[in-house]
Amino acid sequence: MKLNAIKQALAVIAPEALAEAEHAKKGALLDVTVSATQVVEAVSVLDKEGFFIEAITGVDWLGEKENAHKDAVAAAKKKAQDAGKAAAKKVADAGGDEEAQKAAQKEAEAGVAIPAAPVEPFSEEMEVVYDFNNFAEFCRVVLRTRVPRSNPEVPTISHIYPGANWHERETHDFFGIKFVGHPYLAPLLLPEDADFHPLKKDFHV
Amino acid sequence: MSLHPEVIRLLIFLVGIIAFAALNAAYLVWLERKEAGHIQRRIGPKEVGPFGLLQPLADGIKLMTKQLIVPAGVDPILFKIAPILVMVPAIMSFVTIPYGENLVARNIDIGLLMIFAFASVNVLGLLLGAWGSRNKYAVISAARVVSQNVAYEIPMLITVVTLVMITGTMNLHEIVMQQQGGFWNWNILNLAASPLMPVAFLIFFVCMLAETNRAPFDMAEAESELIAGAFTEYPGMGFGVFFMGEYANIVIGASVATILFLGGWQCPFGLFPGVHWFLLKMYFLIFTVIWIRWTYPRTTFYSLLNLSWKILIPISFFNLILTSAMIKVF
Amino acid sequence: MSAFAQTQTNETFVLNLGPQHPATHGVLRVKLVMDGEYIVDAEPVLGYIHRMHEKMGENRTWAQFMPNTGRMDYLHALAYNHGYVSVVERAAGIEVPERAEYLRVITTELNRISSHLLWFGAFVLDLGGFSPLLYAFDDREQILDLLESVTGSRLTYCYFRFGGVYNDIDENFAAGARAFIKRLRERMPMYHALVTKNIILMKRLQEIGPISEEMCRKYGATGPVARGSGINFDVRKHEPYSIYPELRFDVPVYTEGDSMARYMVRMDEIEQSMRIVEQALDKLPEGPVMAAKAPKIIKPAKGDYYHAVETARGSFGVRVVSDGSNTPYRLKLRSPTFSNLSLFGEACRGMLLPDALALMGSLDLVIPEIDR
């Protein structure tokens, strides 16, 4: 089984990063998150196991932490409301008067902690996603790495997979992610003098 | 003051030849388009005139009214002289071709030699045009044309030498006269002289395709590789003259093949010899040339040279030796 | 090629092949460093028809992106439809009625045949043979008429919907498809006799433009290019989707790796696609063509999803990242020819110009799909 072999091999590099995915729901079998410095090592392992490269792309997670915080706050507020209502109902059922109900509700609401806002300056991140697959047996492995948005740098893998050359150039075009060691990181799809990166979330048409 | 009748005769023939060459060039385009159309399950030109017969006229007007652009950076003299260098030798070659027993502008003893001498100038025209255009595609095309013509002139001339050994003359009129009688007297079936005569005709025909840059040997133009090869930079009538020269060369090639191998104006059954038989044979050959073009893909440049140097030249040499041996023995 | 290596000098020149050149089938430009007619180095220059479909995807709703999918690979638009609806259905958990899946496969395979036919004609045109193109177009026309009757368009289809297809087929379509298959079956031997077995064509393709298995792997080449190099890789078998597991068909694989092998793979694929269409028409179940419960507004759960389909040119994958809203957060389109073309620079090194163009033709390039 390719999957087991590659799991064992990748576990050496990043033991806690492996996550098996369900093909019917996600489309991949293995989802691996590694740090930027581990990318070359992980890709070499995939190369040794006979995988072919499907694609490289990026995802800009601008505002991810803020959004996550907003979501968490909203969830906590809802939880507090629910808890307050439940407490009030309990008091009402027990025959308590309106004031007692309100007091109980307030108490219950205060009991739920609202998550604190992320401490500034927090680092915004971009993600680089590598898709690998195998000719002999279906085994799509998704390799992910996160880089800081202010200085997005990932080592190139174009010396291992020459096909990655264009994919990395394209990702550089769209996201401005620098692939350190890439032989020719000039715009591929964008005009040759392009100094913008259209898939960044703060790029507006 | 009266002109010498010979001068008048020559003038009439000259006008006739130019008209014949131009008319042929125009209407062979029509024939080519019609034939290609029918090979490809379509009708071909049909809008201009009955059966699209006025199409060449319309094309000609279009080409002539186009602006003659001389691109920046070209060699203006070579660029302008090249189409003429292709067209003029082709018309010159018509002078010696006997279309009927008396239908020849100048019956020269070395007619055959003259045709081949002028045929070589055509290559020079293409080369100069391509070089003068200063276009990389054109230069690649020119290099191909020259090596292709050098390669194909050899088997062609060896075959012709074989034929001259058999006929003993270079006078085209006489060559035709020798083939009198019926199709069994034609050189293509002159098995007594050499059993390889049909093969020799085939070699001649293939070489003719290559010499006139026709598919599957159209390396010079090769539109899917070299855009339009040597003609890439030529606008309007500059291109038109090249085009006419090309068709005139095809007519000459087919005419020479008819004279050398198919008995010229002689009838296959010995009845009513005349110009109609010549034209019939010639147009049949031209038809075949067009037919081949629309059927086969293009060969590559190196397999083309391989074919010439490794197959055609050895066979034609063998034929030459065989023929000379047979002439000596019998 | 060893003779070439010996005579190589520094007298090279740069030849610009394109962006307007008859052999590049669109606005591809290849910068060739040439030594005479030998290619020293080749660098494809892309982006002349780049439209940034991925950014467009982020600015419109999930459904609004559908028409874009038909405008990338305009020759096999339905497969692109299929890839995109599949990934959204996977993300949003939409069930598709069986009849709809059958219709998707029937139309996609007919579209595949039309794509291969056009490639066949255009490829022989690249080699200088004009006539096969018009014969292939004649056959292709029949498919376009059939597909027009059901999808409403002839080239840039937008026929699939999340949860089904937009229109059911009628009796005429089924009869027409069967009649077309019968007709094409009769014409395939003619194509093989006139083109495949033509000595000039064989000489131009055999042992020309070899691509090794290892090269396909390193560059991620898929589709007929990989199958011509002996790799048995077809997404329809490898990672089965839709109703392909229920249909019987073979994956043609040739081990030579030359242009002829790629040519043969595509010609055989036409036959296999005809088999698939026939079987699917036979098995076509009754029922609705649109899921009753398909939501009008799609809001897939957070997360990222991938789905690959086999197009006429190889494996097309869509990765979508959803943030739970009604527009995609990120949409990645993995187009097969992008990878297939990336190996051209290495594969054509040391070749002659006409052979390199034969190799380029055998890669079956559709430029809008490379540039997206």
> Of the ranges A98-107, B44-53, B199-208, which one carries the lowest mean pLDDT score?
A98-107
What's the CA gap between C160 and C94, in Å, rounded?
Answer: 13
Element (H, E) at B306: helix B301-306
Give the mean pLDDT of B109-133.
86
For residue C188, the distance in angstroms to the closest alpha carbon of chain B comes to 16
- Of C54, C220, C371, nearest to A54 by CB-CB distance is C220
According to DSSP, the residues that pair with C304 across neighbouring strands are C321
**C205 phi, psi to nearest 5 deg:** -110, -35
What tokens does B140 get? 């690649």
pLDDT digits (tens, 9 = 90+) for B238-261: 888 888 888 888 888 898 898 888
Phi and psi for A52 in degrees, rounded to 5? -115, 155
pLDDT of C200 over the 50 cut: yes
Pick from B262, B150, B129, B289: which is nearest to B211 by CA? Answer: B150
Nearest CA in chain C to A189: C47
Helices (H), C127-258: 131-151, 171-191, 199-205, 213-219, 224-227, 235-238
In terms of C-beta density within 10 A (0-12 exposed, 13-18 middle, 19 or more buried), how is residue B159 classed? buried
Give the dihedral sign, CA B15/B20/B25/B26: positive
Min Cα distance C344 → chain A (Å) is 11
For the cut 80, the answer to whether the pLDDT of residue C262 exceeds it is: yes
- Which of 312-371 (C) contact B at CB < 8 A? 352-355, 357
Reference C320, options C298, C341, C336; nearest CA is C298
**Confidence class of residue B323 from pLDDT cuts 50, 70 and 90?**
confident
Q: What is the mean pLDDT of residues B123-131?
A: 86
Closest among B269, C314, C323 to A59, alpha carbons compared: C323
In chain B, the percentage of residues whose pLDDT exceeds 90 is 2
Kindly state the helix (H) or strand (E) to which residue B81 belongs, with its residue range: helix B76-94
Please tell me the distance from the alpha carbon of residue C308 to that of residue C331, in angstroms, as a whole number: 13
Q: How confident is the model at residue C120 (pLDDT cuts 50, 70, 90)?
A: very high
By Cβ distance, the residue of B41, B216, B300 closest to C135 is: B41
Average pLDDT score, chain C: 87
The closest CB to that of B300, out of C15, C22, C355, belongs to: C355
Establish if B310 touches chain C: CB-CB under 8 angstroms.
Answer: no
Q: Is residue B39 included in any domain, yes or no?
A: no
pLDDT at residue C199 in the model: 86
Q: Are residues C124 and C133 in contact, defined by beta-carbon separation less than 8 angstroms?
A: yes
Between chain A and chain C, the number of residue pairs with CB atoms below 8 A apart is 106
Judge whether C79 and C112 are in contact, CB under 8 Å.
yes
Dihedral of alpha carbons C148, C150, C151, C152, sign: positive
Structure tokens at A201: 């979330």
For residue B235, the enclosing domain spans 74-329
Is residue C6 very low, low, confident or very high in pLDDT (cuts 50, 70, 90)?
Answer: low
| Alpha carbon distances (Å) from A67 to A146, A176, B286 | 18, 23, 78
Q: Is residue B302 part of a domain?
A: yes
Which residues on C lie below 8 Å from B298 (Cβ)? 127-129, 200, 354
Does C330 contact A174 at a Cβ distance shorter than 8 Å?
no
In this complex, is the C-beta atom of B143 within 8 Å of any C-beta atom belonging to chain C? yes
Mean pLDDT of B43-67: 86
Cis peptide before C19 (omega within 30 of 0): yes
Averaged pLDDT score across all residues of chain B: 84
Return the pLDDT at C270: 92
B54-64 in b/e form (b: 16+ CB < 10 A) is ebbeebbeebe
Element (H, E) at A33: strand A30-34
- C363 vs C292, higher pLDDT: C363
- Which site among C197, C200, C260 would you substitute to test the B interface, given the most B Cβ atoms closer than 10 Å to its Cβ? C200
Q: Among B41, B140, B224, select the one facing C37 at the smallest CB separation.
A: B140
Buried b (16+ CB within 10 A) or exposed e, C87-105: bbbbbbebebbbbbbbbbb
Per-residue confidence (pLDDT) for residue B225, from 0 to 100: 76
What Cα–Cα distance (Å) separates residue B77 from each residue in B83, B89, B234? Answer: 11, 18, 13
First to last CA, chain B: 57
> How long is chain B?
330
Q: Domain C3-370 maps to which CATH number in 3.90.1150.10, 1.10.357.10, 1.10.645.10, 3.40.50.720?
A: 1.10.645.10
Tokens of residue B67, six digits: 């602006």
Peptide bond into B216 cis (omega under 30): yes
Tell me the shortest Cα–Cα distance from B298 to chain C, in angstroms. 5
| C-alpha neighbours within 13 Å on the C-beta side of residue B60 | 15
**Residue A20: strand pairing partners:** A30
Span A174-194, average pLDDT: 87
Nearest CA distance, C329 vs chain A (angstrom)? 9
pLDDT score of C109? 92
**ω before A121 within 30° of 0 (cis)?**
yes
How far apart are the CA of B299 and the nearest CA of chain C, in angstroms? Answer: 6
User: Residues near A98 by Cβ (< 8 Å), separated by ≥ 6?
Assistant: none
Asked if residue B314 is part of any domain, the answer here is yes
Inspect the interface and report whether the beta carbons of C198 and B297 lie closer than 8 Å: yes
What contacts A124, CB < 8 A, 6 or more positions away? A61, A62, A63, A64, A65, A148, A149, A150
Which of A31, A62, A133, A197 is best to mutate for the C interface (most C CBs within 10 A)?
A133
d(CA C243, CA B6): 87
* Residue B270: per-residue pLDDT: 67
Q: Which ipTM score applies to this complex? A: 0.85
The confidence band for C266, taking pLDDT boundaries of 50, 70 and 90, is very high
Amino acid at C79: A
Instruction: Provide mean pLDDT across the span B154-168.
Output: 88
d(Cα C50, Cα C63) in Å, to the nearest integer? 22
Instruction: Provide the sign of the torsion angle of the four alpha carbons C68, C73, C74, C80, taken in this order.
Output: negative
Residue B37 located in a structural domain: no
Q: State pLDDT tens for residues C36-49.
A: 888 888 888 888 88
What are the backbone dihedrals phi and psi of residue A46, each rounded to the nearest 5 degrees, phi first? -60, -40
Straight-line distance from the first to the last Cα atom of chain A, in angstroms, rounded to the nearest whole number: 47
**Which residue do the tokens 């913008």 mark?**
A196
Q: Which residues of C touch B218 (CB under 8 A)?
A: 128
Confidence band, pLDDT 50/70/90 cuts, at residue A120: low
Is there a contact between B105 and B255 (Cβ–Cβ < 8 Å)?
A: no
Residue B229 lies in a domain: yes
In a domain, B226, yes or no: yes
Residues of C in contact with A57 (CB under 8 A): 319, 332, 334
Which residues lie closer than 8 Å to C321 by C-beta, 6 or more apart? A59, C303, C304, C328, C329, C330, C331
CA separation, residue C130 to residues B222, B229, B295, C98, C268 (Å): 12, 18, 8, 43, 22
State whether C204 and B300 contact (CB < 8 Å): yes
**Pick among B144, B292, B295, B296 to test the C interface (most C CBs inside 10 A):** B296
The answer to whether the CB of B172 falls within 8 A of the CB of B97 is: yes
Q: What's the half-sphere exposure (Cβ side, CA atoms, 13 Å) at B131?
A: 14
Q: Which of A64, A58, A65 is nearest to A152 (CA)?
A: A58
Q: Do chains A and C touch (3 or more CB pairs under 8 A)?
A: yes
Question: In chain B, which residue's Cα lies nearest the Cα of C25?
Answer: B224
Residues across chain A: 205
Mutation site for C-interface testing, chosen from B300, B307, B310, B311 by largest number of C Cβ within 10 Å? B300
- Per the listing, tokens 């003779």 go with C3
DSSP letter (8 states) at residue C352: B
C-alpha–C-alpha distance, residues A152 and A50, integer Å = 29
**Structure token pair of residue B267:** 């009838």
Q: Please, are residues C155 and C141 in contact by the beta-carbon 8 Å criterion? A: no
Q: pLDDT confidence of C2, banded at 50, 70, 90? A: very low
Q: Place C8 in a pLDDT band, splitting at 50, 70 and 90.
A: low
Residue A120 tokens read as 């500034």
Calculate mean pLDDT across residues A73-83. 84
Chain pair B-C, CB pairs under 8 angstroms: 75
CA distance to partner chain C, nearest, from residue B247 (Å): 19
DSSP B171: -
Between positions 267 and 306 of B, the ones with CB within 8 A of C are: 294-303
Q: Which chains touch A (3 or more CB pairs under 8 A)?
A: C
Interatomic CA distance for residues B297 and B299, integer angstroms: 7
Instruction: Write down the pTM of the prediction.
Output: 0.86
The DSSP output letter for A156 is -
> Does the distance separating the beta carbons of B301 and C357 come in below 8 Å?
no
Nearest-by-Cβ selection for C128 from B41, B215, B302: B215
Is residue C36 within 8 angstroms of chain B, CB to CB?
yes
Domain ranges of chain C: 3-370
Q: Evaluate if residue B279 carries a pLDDT over 80.
A: yes
Whether C92 shows a pLDDT value over 90: the answer reads no
Domain assignment present for B20: no
Number of structural domains found in chain B: 1
Q: Residues 6 or more apart from C116 whose CB is under 8 A from it?
A: C266, C267, C269, C270, C273, C312
Q: How far apart are CA B240 and CA B233, in angstroms?
A: 12
Mean pLDDT of chain A: 82
Alpha-helix residue ranges (DSSP H) falling in B168-196: 172-178
* pLDDT confidence bin for C1, thresholds 50/70/90: very low
What's chain C's length in residues? 372
Mutate to test the interface with A, among C229, C239, C331 (most CBs of A within 10 A): C239
> Does A have 3 or more CB contacts under 8 Å with B?
no
Residue B151 lies in a domain: yes
How far is Cα C258 from Cα C228, in angstroms, rounded to an integer? 7
**Which chains, if any, share at least 3 CB pairs under 8 A with chain C?**
A, B
Q: Does A122 score more than 90 pLDDT?
A: no
Q: Which of C371, C330, C368, C283 is nearest to C103 (CA)?
A: C283
**What percent of chain C lies above the pLDDT cut of 90?**
22
**Secondary structure of A74-100 in HEC code, one letter for each residue:** HHHHHHHHHHHHHHHHHHHHCCCCHHH
By Cβ distance, the residue of C239, C339, C371 closest to A189 is: C371
> Which pLDDT does position C263 carry in this prediction?
92
